[in-house]
């Protein structure tokens, strides 16, 4: 962000508040306009892994299971389910559920969704979650049996993936990602990539038609623009990536509501473990000690985050409150780097150089600049490279980075440690993007997957978290709070820990006065 721009935004907002400007423009019907930070990469639930894609997908699709606003898993498309044995599940979908094309959901659609994700030719990064499936057998129009190769404690968690319509997905091929057909409360009307997405409510939605007739998702990457559009009334909802110092400009204004709650989002620095210097654990630990997370949270985020120790957030039953933390200690960081033989080169003026990749988001770049200065203070030169979201994300999933910062959203089951850190989950088989490899983590994450005894599983993941905290394939930063600013006319929206948009299905937009 340019120097002084936050002050300019704040002044603009305050002027709009204080100068008696017109009320937000009314919208015809109950059309809700929301601002997204970035364009979804895909609207196919079998392919999408980024937050913006997932949030729009939540409005277009249902899984067999879902998380409720408290983060607890509940049946969604399922009428019933039963674990017949340690390696088999009988699933029965609800009758009468319709896709947006009018076709009824059947067990054949569920079977197709699972098997297409498993198909190597399809190239889903979610394939690792289903690699333990040996067979999906249709029992009747609404029932199917899923057979596993071995017990998998987290298997039902995998079934939150959106179910696609078999016929439409087969017919559309790659274009299904931009022409999705799901069972969700809304259906896609238009996607002008980089500009906006228009969703229309479904009157035949199995849980009842939404009260909001349409949702216009505008792609507005610039934070200041999102907030000014919100103030003018051309946008009625903004969630997260909101400069904390600007939240106060909306608090106390009757035209807006500000909601804030803890999240299950984990902010971290990802590291390329194949890098000749960053592959060393002592170097990564020194970097962790060089970053003053407290000052960033207190001064930049104004306390709207909690320091993170690992993937799992407080409130998760597997969270470890006493997990190893790397306190800010630049003197220790310098000593560790000296002991590693990485002395400051008099000619270059640094110990070594790395590149930090990020998106063009203003706050992300502010954070990157602070980390750049803090690493510079211990002799590490860090170049910041900012990209449009699609380019940035493509580099990350392709392993084209030294370090980067991203978030994981909505992690509830510790089986995710397999996806993130098992050596078998290196892309394209999973999301171990840094190519971390530790035989003990491989063993433990594989053991944790098949362990059905809750107490043994708890101990297994205690060991996993302690090893990851020591090895530092990620440098944990913080758990940001969820913050949503919305028009006071929007009633019934409930913040989910993962920042999901699911509650738009039950929310209501009152007419403008």
Condensed to tens digits (0 to 9), the pLDDT of residues 347-397 reads 999 999 999 999 988 889 999 999 999 999 999 999 999 999 889 999 999
Q: How far is CA 188 from CA 47, 192, 366, in A?
A: 17, 11, 35
Using only C-alpha atoms, the chain has a radius of gyration, in whole angstroms, of 24
- What does the pLDDT read at residue 29? 53
What integer pLDDT is reported at residue 19 of this predicted model? 42
pLDDT at residue number 17: 44
* Dist CA 172 CA 181 (whole Å): 10
Kind plus residue range of the DSSP H or E element containing 88: strand 88-93
Q: What is the predicted pLDDT for the residue at 478? A: 97
The CA-atom distances, in angstroms, between 104 and each of 46, 101, 164, 212, 423 are 20, 9, 11, 24, 40
Write the pLDDT tens digit of every residue in 292-323: 999 999 999 999 999 999 999 998 999 999 99
Residue with tokens 């333990």: 132
Q: What is the pLDDT along the chain (513 residues), one digit of tens a residue?
A: 444 444 444 444 444 444 444 433 333 459 999 999 999 999 999 999 888 999 999 999 999 999 888 778 999 999 999 999 999 999 999 999 999 999 999 999 999 999 999 999 999 988 888 989 999 999 999 999 999 999 999 899 999 999 999 999 999 999 999 999 999 999 999 999 999 999 999 999 999 999 999 999 999 988 889 999 999 999 999 998 888 888 888 988 999 999 998 888 999 999 999 999 999 999 999 999 999 999 999 999 999 999 999 999 998 999 999 999 999 999 999 999 999 999 999 999 999 999 999 998 888 999 999 999 999 999 999 999 999 988 999 999 999 999 999 999 888 899 999 989 999 999 888 899 999 999 999 999 999 989 999 999 999 999 999 999 999 999 999 999 999 999 999 999 999 888 899 999 999 999 987
pLDDT digits (tens, 9 = 90+) for 250-268: 988 999 999 998 888 999 9
Crossing angle of helices 330-339/281-290, nearest 10°?
160
CA 265 → CA 74, 167, 439, distances in Å?
Answer: 20, 35, 27
Distance CA 10, CA 302 (A): 15
Which residue do the tokens 């930063």 mark? 477
């Amino acid at each position: 962000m340019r120097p002084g721009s936050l002050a300019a935004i704040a002044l603009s907002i305050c002027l709009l508040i204080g100068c008696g400007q017109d009320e937000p423009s009314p919208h015809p019907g109950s059309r809700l306009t929301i601002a997204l930070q970035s364009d979804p990469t895909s609207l196919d639930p079998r392919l999408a892994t980024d937050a913006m894609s997932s949030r729009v997908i939540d409005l277009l699709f249902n899984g067999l299971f879902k998380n409720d606003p408290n983060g607890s898993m509940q049946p969604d498309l399922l009428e019933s389910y039963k674990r017949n044995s340690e390696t088999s599940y009988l699933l029965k979908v609800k009758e009468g559920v319709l896709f947006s094309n009018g076709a009824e959901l059947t067990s054949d659609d569920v079977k197709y969704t699972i098997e297409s994700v498993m198909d190597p030719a399809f190239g889903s990064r979610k394939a690792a979650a289903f690699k333990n499936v040996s067979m999906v057998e249709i029992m009747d129009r609404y029932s199917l049996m899923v057979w596993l190769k071995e017990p998998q404690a987290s298997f039902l968690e995998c079934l939150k993936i959106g179910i696609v319509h078999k016929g439409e997905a087969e017919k559309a091929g790659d274009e299904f990602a931009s022409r999705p057909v799901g069972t969700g409360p809304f259906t896609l009307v238009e996607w002008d990539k980089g500009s906006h997405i228009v969703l229309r409510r479904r009157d035949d939605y199995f849980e009842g038609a939404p009260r909001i007739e349409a949702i216009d998702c505008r792609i507005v990457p610039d934070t200041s623009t999102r907030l000014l559009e919100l103030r003018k009334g051309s946008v009625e909802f903004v969630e997260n990536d909101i400069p904390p110092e600007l939240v106060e400009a909306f608090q106390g204004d009757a035209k807006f509501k500000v909601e804030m709650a803890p999240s299950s989002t984990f902010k971290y620095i990802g590291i390329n473990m194949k890098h000749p210097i960053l592959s060393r654990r002592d170097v990564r630990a020194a970097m962790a000690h060089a970053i003053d997370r407290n000052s960033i949270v207190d001064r930049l985020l104004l306390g709207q985050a909690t320091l993170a120790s690992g993937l799992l957030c407080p409130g998760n039953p597997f969270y470890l409150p006493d997990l190893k933390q790397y306190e800010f200690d630049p003197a220790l960081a310098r000593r560790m780097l000296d002991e590693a033989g990485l002395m400051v080169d008099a000619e270059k003026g640094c110990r070594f150089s790395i590149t930090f990749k990020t998106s063009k988001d203003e706050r992300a770049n502010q954070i990157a600049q602070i980390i750049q200065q803090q690493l510079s203070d211990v002799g590490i030169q860090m170049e910041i490279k900012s990209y449009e979201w699609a380019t940035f994300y493509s580099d990350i999933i392709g392993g084209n980075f030294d370090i980067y910062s991203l978030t994981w959203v909505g992690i509830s089951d510790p089986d995710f440690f397999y996806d993130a850190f098992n050596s078998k989950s290196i892309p394209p088989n999973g999301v171990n993007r840094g190519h971390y490899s530790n035989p003990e983590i491989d063993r433990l994450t594989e053991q944790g997957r098949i362990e059905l005894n809750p107490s043994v599983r708890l101990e297994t993941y205690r060991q996993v978290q302690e090893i990851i905290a020591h090895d530092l394939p990620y440098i944990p930063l913080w758990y940001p709070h969820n913050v949503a600013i919305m028009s006071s006319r929007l009633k019934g929206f409930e913040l989910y820990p993962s920042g999901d948009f699911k509650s738009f299905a039950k929310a209501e937009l009152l007419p403008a006065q």
